[in-house]
Amino acid sequence: MTQNWLYQLIVRKPLAGITETVPRFTEYILIKVKEHRATLDIASPRDFLASLTAVMHDPKNFVEPEKFIPDRFVKNGIFVNDVKVCGFSLGLRNCIGKQLAIEEYFIFASNMVNSFRIERTAGDINHIANHSAILMPEGSRVCFVSRSC
């Protein structure tokens, strides 16, 4: 996405004559917000959905956003928390288990590295062909070799 906005807000508005019990019959309106603050006069009832994918895949926010480059979040050996990374959502809807998930992931990753040596057996680990919510290399194979052997 190369448009000049920070956030995309999608306003879901019920179509005339359709009740809220059938939410799939809705009209979607895209609002482009070019500043950190914007005043929107939108009559209720409305639902707001933020397009976090648009923020995280915008080249203005991240150099080469389609590539998995974990080093972009490390400066001088220290992790830098970037507000544009929205893995656990934002604001009032922020995931309450975020810190627990981070700690559990660290324990899991530490145990894996402690117990296994990870070797690439085939494929190119740098090529990412799809643009889905999860960036995953295609055609790569790894082998977990026990360190106790």
What are the pLDDT digits (tens) for 100-140? 888 888 888 888 888 888 787 776 656 555 555 555 555 66
Residue 95 assigned ligand-binding role: yes
- Mean pLDDT along residues 93-105: 79
Helices (H), 39-97: 52-56
Question: Which residue type does 146 have?
Answer: S
82 contacts 52 by C-beta, under 8 angstroms: no
Residue 99 backbone phi and psi in degrees, to 5: -65, -40
Answer with the residue of higher pLDDT: 37 or 70.
70
Task: Tell me the average pLDDT of the chain.
Answer: 65
- The mean pLDDT value for 22-43 works out to 45
pLDDT range class, residue 2, cuts 50, 70, 90: very low
* Predicted local distance difference test score (pLDDT) of residue 130: 57
The β-bridge partners of 9 are: 31, 50
Contact 7, 37 (CB under 8 A): no
Q: Which of 127, 8, 105 is nearest to 56 (CA)?
A: 8
pTM value surpassing 0.85: no
Mean pLDDT, range 38-62, rounded to an integer: 62
Contact yes or no for 127/138 (Cβ under 8 A):
yes
Residue with token string 């972009």 = 72
| pLDDT higher than 50, residue 19 | no
pLDDT band at 88 (very low <50, low <70, confident <90, very high): low
* Residue ranges covered by each domain of the chain: 1-72
Other C-beta atoms closer than 10 Å to the C-beta of 90 total 13
